[in-house]
A and B are shown apart, each in its own frame.
Chain A
Amino acid sequence: MLETNDNQPLLEVRQVSRRFGALVAVDRVSFSIQKGEIFGIAGPNGSGKSTLFNIITGIPFPPSAGEVFLAGQPIHKLRPHQISRAGVLRTFQKDAEFATLSALENVYASAVYCGQMGSNEARVAAQQALDDVSLAAERRTKAASDLSVFERKQLMIASAIAARPKVLLLDEPAAGLTRPETSDLADLIYTVHGRGITIVLIEHVLPLLLKVSEHLMVLNHGAVIASGKPEEVVRNPVVVAAYLGKREAGL
């Protein structure tokens, strides 16, 4: 086994930018994440959080400039599906699951194509992943479009972990959830984390982020304005101003 040295970050993003014509959605953002971390990214709406996920995963577009490394290997030049197969998986803010396929098929497809497993192995992995997110057995044969909002969040996470990713990027997973559901989601994130998966979490509401993150980075206008321990970052006047300037913060 080739062990990567402990100081090498698992995911390293160097100076990535994304432009749309004159608009700079993400502006020279750099950060690195250690293996096993839960890394939170906050920022007001339109601050470039989701775009950052888009360019890291190449879905639907790569960065205009900059580099991304996974365990020291460059991944920003790979095709989007290859980035997923390399171990960087994401969820989507909007409903995106395979609506006409059953929950089980959703997860199985990921195990086969992303995890590159054989049929039998994928079937086992799919059930295991659904067990991990505790989606009720009788719901697994239902079409994904028939599932509830929370069940679909469970499904999206299950389909990611079935492929045994190295890093899981969660894009505003709490959107549309009730308060008790958000707390269940936090437990779910801990469960996934407990499986040895490094987590990057985007939220614009702070409670969940503050609860689970070990490190917090804040974006505004596409650039990093603060990064560090969550409790210190939220007291940073620049961060407070960015949030209050935009909207009443969920602090």
Chain B
Amino acid sequence: MDALHNGKTWLIALLVITGLLVPIFVEDTYLRHLFIIAFVYGMVAASWDLTLGYAGIFNFAHIAFFGVGIYATGLTAKVLGVDPWMAMLIGGLAASAAAAIVALPIVRLKGVYVILVTFAFSQLVLQVVISQSSITGGTQGLVRVPTIWLPGYNFLRDYKLGYYYVAFGLLVATTVCLRCLVRSDFGLSIKALRDSEDYGVSRGIPIARQRLKALVASAFFTGMAGGFYVLYLRVASPEIFDFSTASLVLSMVLVGGTSSIYGPVFAALVLTFMSEGLANIDNFAEGRFMIVAVTMVVVLLFFPKGLASMLPNGFGEKTPEILLHRKRRIAGSTDHAE
């Protein structure tokens, strides 16, 4: 067990070092751009899994929280002239605040209502962004957002080297924080509530508070990611709220495996490169989302634990996965894996 654990630690260390060395070998700006976007998606996907996979909250507002981070950061940096680094933090906090508002009605509700409310909330945020076009730029998008800075360094020249390291640093920090969270007593309590709500409450776990915390924490990381994203791209568009974005990130969570932090991070890397590669084929912009959709269904059908679970050392959880639990419901299967 310990040897396995050490092996895993070494592998992680190796991956981090590789991540640090990548820009030395990859000088192409576009490839670096893809890495940066993949890192952002990695943060969004991994933090989504905190609510969706670990806490079992059917949260479909995660991309809306990402969008809240984008617009909160973009607007405070551009309109209010807040320091971009500070604005990024504000993005995270704003996303957390939005999550707290959503949590208010859903923490005590059953699954289906949670799905409906979170979807409705996502649309609400989109509507607000579009309707308040004098501030947000509406469907035209938010443009000319200031970017991050460091004394004596210009992020805009240097072939995205600076952005690469900031994105990588944020990804590593996010991953470490999320890992700590899911391994803490708090992480144990949200998994417990996911497995059995009533039993969790009967063992003193305050359900509303834990779910609120999970939503707020997961939104903070995605909000920060959104903040970085807008400061990096320097534009924001309401397209981010599309169902397409949600399904792309969802496919990362599914491919990486729910109830895993590393899984979605790696899936984000792979899928971003794949999906961007496909997007470069002429007249195939729609096709790439169609492939993403097919991937989602195929993974759910054949690899319900995620493709990452097939990696050595079991990067997913070792305990049985919630999505694997089958019971006789309608079709009367013979599976007894409860």
Contacts and interface: CB of A to CB of B under 8 A. Distances in A.
A and B touch in the complex (CB under 8 A): yes
Interface of A: 57, 59-60, 79-81, 84-85, 89-90, 92, 95-102, 105-106, 108-110, 112-116, 119, 143, 145-146, 159-160, 163
Q: How large is the interface on B (under 10, 10 to 19, 20 to 34, 35 or more residues)?
A: 20 to 34
A109 B203 contact: yes
Contacts of A105: 188
B319 A143 contact: yes
Given A85-B204, A92-B198, 20 more contacts: A80-B202, A84-B204, A92-B202, A99-B195, A99-B196, A99-B325, A100-B259, A100-B317, A100-B320, A101-B188, A101-B191, A101-B192, A101-B319, A108-B188, A109-B200, A110-B204, A113-B185, A114-B203, A143-B320, A146-B320
Nearest to B203: A110
Contacts of B222: none
A59 B206 contact: no
Contacts of B320: 99-100, 143, 145-146
B201 A81 contact: yes
B113 interface: no
A93 to B, nearest CB: 11
Contacts of B203: 84, 89, 109-110, 113-114, 159-160, 163
5 contacts: A92-B199, A96-B196, A96-B199, A109-B188, A115-B204
Contacts of A97: 195-196, 199
Contacts of B196: 96-99
**Residue with the greatest number of chain A CB neighbours at <10 A, chosen from B191, B194, B201, B206:** B201
A110 B325 CA distance: 23
Contact of B192 (A84, A95, A109): A109
B319 A80 contact: no
Interface in B152-210: 185, 188-189, 191-192, 194-196, 198-207
Contacts of A119: 185
B214 to A, nearest CB: 15
A59 B205 contact: no
Interface of B: 185, 188-189, 191-192, 194-196, 198-207, 259, 317, 319-322, 325, 338
B188 A84 contact: no
A92 B203 CA distance: 12
Contacts of B188: 101, 105, 108-109, 112
A98 B200 contact: yes
Contact of B202 (A89, A99, A102, A145): A89
A183 to B, nearest CB: 26
Contact of A98 (B199, B204, B259, B338): B199
A80 B191 contact: no
A79 B196 CA distance: 17
B309 to A, nearest CB: 14
Nearest to A96: B199
A81 B204 contact: yes
A57 B191 contact: no
Contact of A112 (B185, B207, B322): B185
A159 B195 CA distance: 15
